Amino acid sequence: MSDRSSLNPAQRATALADAAEQEFDVIVIGGGITGVGAALDAVSRGLSVALFEKGDLASGTSSRSGKVFHGGLRYLEQLNFSLVREALTERDLMVDRLCPHLVSPERFLFPFTRRWERPYIGSGVLLYDLLRLTGTRSVAGHRHLSRRGVLREMPALRTDVTGGVQYYDVRVDDARHTMSVARTAARLGARIVTRAPVVGVLTEPNGASGAQCVPNAPFGSSAGRVSGVRVRDADTGDEVSVRGRTVVSATGVWAEDVQSLAGESSISVTAAKGIHLVVPGDRIDSATGMIAKTSDSVFIIRRWFDYWLMGTTDTRWDADRDDPAATKADVDYLLGHANRWLRTPLSYEDVVGVYAGLRPLVSGKGSGAAATAALSRDHAVLEGPRGMFSVVGGKYTTYRIMARDAVDAVASRLGRVVPGSVTERLPILGATGYPALRNQLTSLAAESGLPESTLEHLLGRFGALTTELLDLIADRPSLGEPVSGAPGYLAAELHYAAAHEGALTLDDVLVRRTRVFMETPDRGVAAASHAADVVGDVLGWDDVRRKEEVERYRVERQADARAATAASDSAAVQARHAARSTP
């Protein structure tokens, strides 16, 4: 593994310095899955790439998804066969080649309560399987179940079911996957810089040949050609101009705001909030996940390692897009749907985690844009102004296709031949060598002294890079101890997050590099002190900084908890502010 795949403060400083000195073929704005996917696609075609993210990798929607690679069974009802086919192909590709260490095929049950549902839903699931283009069977096909078979698979289910159909989709740890794609791009030479918001877009008149740039063209003006961005280092406040031949905005619900920095107004984005609940694995007696239709969408229960995830909602969010919050109404809605199907009702006391994310609903405005903007979950790449491409719409499963299309559009503006995309054949970091290492599980456990269950956990998070964790533990045995307050994780994982995975704060480590915040009843507060010591040793924090990080983390989780008891979105925002302002 090349050293440059490691993301850490030293790498960040070097990447910022490089950004100030050279001109890039592509500047990517946004460190979610589409942004890092575009960076990987571009750099793997031989283009020079710099990526800037205002927060942490996957700090927005890409860490708050449904955590499933799926074809979108419900899109069949919309007759969107091309989207389902595309997504299913991508789903299978993740399992077969691109990131087998980060995914796991999971069963889902569609229970029937009426006789007409078997032919209707069954034919849809059959079509779901038939639309797959790949010839592999890493993800199994569907099967029909009798009433007895349904209750055998899911004893927790209510008893008035008449049967069901079971099919497969694929679980993924979205935040770790996004980070791993970013590290893969960095290994190939992309400059990845987090906590570096783009505060301006540099433009020059069309046809200009000089280096003079005019930043921040007036809103709505004819901005000319994009020639770079203005970036602020959130740590120091310093700003730097970065020159780029093209710019890709992969900013989701912030796409409209970013485009306005370039003096354009052809995209309109509405944020739709979706929340998920986390409950312990023993609260639902089932060997399978479940999906059921609702009046406007679907309700899904899915396995999440030792827990269950339940989601999702779909409501408009008009408050701070950096800080979506779940409300009591959201929680009530999901518990209500769960309890329509479960014999033993769930209550607030069963919920150990809640998280909220925003989906960008995009429409065009102005001439031309309306005809090309995405509807539903389809995506589009829109140019405006010249040389700046906004990727809008889409869903997590098809991130690689969105990234490919964005770089194809970029290539049309570079004035030279650019090779086609190769990411279909490019495994991400940790995938190469994973199957062989997985087969050595017993010997790895014997050599390391760690239980096989712990090795299973590490292999499912780091893949072939697990040996790097084992080397850390061999050098510093204390890193092989469980994290106090989060015994499902080793201290070595927190150390590695800061040394190699770009984590710069306690929130980065406990919310996105691990899943501690959503897998412990106190949202990781008890683990914060131990985590601050481990991470602080890597990042050079003094005692004051360690205490500040622990307190900041505690306040943020307190804000989450208060928001989840609020009656409305506005009340949730107020509850967050109240929690953060409490001494």
The residue type of 440 is Q
- pLDDT for the residue 102: 98
CA distance 39 to 52: 10
What pLDDT sits at residue 572? 87
Cα 134 to Cα 201: distance, rounded to the nearest angstrom: 41
Nearest to 395 by CA among 62, 107, 45: 62
> pLDDT band at 332, cuts 50/70/90?
very high
pLDDT interval class at 373 (50, 70, 90): very low
Q: Which of 519, 439, 438 is nearest to 173 (CA)?
A: 519
In this prediction, residue 234 has a pLDDT band, given cuts at 50, 70 and 90, of very high
User: Tokens for 261?
Assistant: 């920095």
Contact indicator for 263, 352 with CB cutoff of 8 Å: no
CA distance linking residue 514 with residue 493, whole number of Å: 8
How confident is the model over 71-95, as pLDDT tens digits? 888 788 777 888 889 999 999 999 9
Place of tokens 């999702």: 312
| Nearest partner of 229 among 26, 449, 480, judged by Cα | 26
3 state SS for 462-509? HHHHHHHHHHHHHHCHHHHCEECCEEEEEHHHHHHHHHHECCCCHHHH
pTM of the model: 0.94
Average pLDDT estimate for 557-576: 89
CATH pick for 476-581 out of 3.60.70.12, 1.10.8.870, 1.10.10.10, 3.40.50.620: 1.10.8.870
The highest-level CATH class for domain 103-170+271-359 is alpha beta
Q: Is the pLDDT of residue 210 over 50?
A: no
Percent of the chain with pLDDT over 90: 79
How much of the chain, in percent, has pLDDT values that exceed 70?
93
> Quick one: tokens of 3?
């050293």
Query: Are domains 3-62+176-266+365-425 and 103-170+271-359 of this chain identical in fold?
Result: no
Identity of the amino acid at 65: S
Q: Rounded mean pLDDT of 486-510?
A: 98
Spans of all domains in the chain: 3-62+176-266+365-425, 103-170+271-359, 476-581
Write down the pLDDT at residue 188. Answer: 98
Q: State the SS3 of 298-333.
A: EEEEEEECCEEEEECCCEECCCCCCCCCCCHHHHHH
The pLDDT-based confidence of 364 (bands split at 50, 70, 90) is low
Which CATH entry fits the domain spanning 3-62+176-266+365-425: 3.30.420.250, 3.50.50.60, 2.60.40.10, 3.40.1380.20?
Answer: 3.50.50.60
Q: Mean pLDDT throughout 282-305? A: 94
Mean of pLDDT values over 546-565: 94
Rounded to the nearest integer, the mean pLDDT of the chain is: 91
Q: What is the tens place of the pLDDT at every residue in 429-485?
A: 999 999 999 999 999 999 999 999 999 999 999 999 999 999 999 999 999 999 999
